Amino acid sequence: MPASQARSRARDRNNVLNRAEFLSLNQPLKGNQESRSGSKKQSGQAGAAGAQNGSAKERRQSQQLPEEDCMQLNPSFKGIAFNSLLAIDICMSKRLGVCANRASSWGGARSMISLLGITGHGIPWIAGTLICLVKSSTLAGQEVLMNLLLALLLDIMIVAGLQKLAKRKGPYDVTPGLLDYLTMDTYAFPAGHASRVAMLAKFLLNHLVLAIPLRILLVLWALCVGFSRVMIGRHHVTDVLSGFVFGYLQFRLVELIWMSSNTCQMLISIW
């Protein structure tokens, strides 16, 4: 028996089907079957983990991609129209920014255009209104000036809130000035100067007795101040146009909450 067992073992070792280099795909060796199944499980688990890590990495990369790098296969008509108008607005604003810097075509006139924009700042108008209010001795004058002061303060708060919500930057990288920071006019949409001059022009036309030439000059001044902000590169064309609209709406709001003469006298006495 021992000799026959030894011969059978020798035959098994010499059998080519039992050699590792000639393993059958359908009938693997028992000794290697467990090791291969274990390696397959490990490789399968590693492959699944790698696939999960790869998919998670792809999702993170797709989330980090900016919107302009993502292609929308079926854009809506509204999206196409909005993007087209936005592109036209940016192109026009850059072309009209002739005083954006010293190297621009009208770079030498930048100081004069900036000086024109100062006439639409909120701080000079608030300071001038307070001085006129102190020197005013008539009830009608004090009433108009108090409501004008209210309109200027509302304009600063409303425009600052809208700009914080929109956070739109101008067509050029122009640093806001000191007066812009004081009035919180640091973003582009809507244009604070445009809303302020539109509100002031409408307010003065309604509550001051002016001759026709002065009324025309007042309207021209408002238009020039608004579009001077496009020329120096601080705002887009749509920012200025929307600023004019918001300025008119602010005027209508002040007309609705108009303070009477008694209320103005009470506030002046408290002050």
Would you kindly state where each structural domain of the chain is located, as residue ranges? 115-270
Using CA atoms, how far apart are residues 23 and 16, in angstroms rounded to an integer?
8
Catalytic residue among 121, 207, 235, 236: 235
Residue where the block lists tokens 């024109």: 116
Using CA atoms, how far apart are residues 243 and 226, in angstroms rounded to an integer?
8
Using CA atoms, how far apart are residues 265 and 75, in angstroms rounded to an integer?
59
Q: What is the pLDDT of residue 21?
A: 45
- The set of residues, in sequence order, having a beta carbon less than 8 Å from that of 233 and lying 6+ positions away, is 97, 99, 100, 101, 170, 171, 172, 174
Using CA atoms, how far apart are residues 92 and 65, in angstroms rounded to an integer?
28
- Alpha-carbon distances, residue 50 vs 47, 205, 240 (angstroms): 5, 72, 53
Q: Is 207 a catalytic residue?
A: no
Residues of the chain with pLDDT under 50: 16-17, 20-25, 28-35, 37, 40-41, 46, 65-71
Q: Is 236 a catalytic residue?
A: no
Which spans in the chain are helix H? 2-14, 30-64, 77-96, 110-118, 122-135, 139-166, 178-182, 192-207, 212-231, 237-256, 261-270
Question: How is residue 68 annotated by DSSP?
Answer: G
Using CA atoms, how far apart are residues 258 and 247, in angstroms rounded to an integer?
16
Q: What is the pLDDT of residue 82?
A: 77
Digit-coded pLDDT (tens) for 166-177:
988 888 877 787
Q: What is the pLDDT of residue 34?
A: 47
Using CA atoms, how far apart are residues 99 and 105, in angstroms rounded to an integer?
7
Element (H, E) at 26: none
Using CA atoms, how far apart are residues 193 and 226, in angstroms rounded to an integer?
6
Element (H, E) at 102: none
Tokens of 235: 């705002």
* Terminal-to-terminal C-alpha distance of the chain: 123
DSSP calls for 69-86:
GS--SS--HHHHHHHHHH
Digit-coded pLDDT (tens) for 114-172:
888 889 988 899 999 999 998 888 898 899 999 999 999 999 999 999 999 998 888 88
Is residue 251 within 8 Å of 202, Cβ to Cβ?
Answer: yes
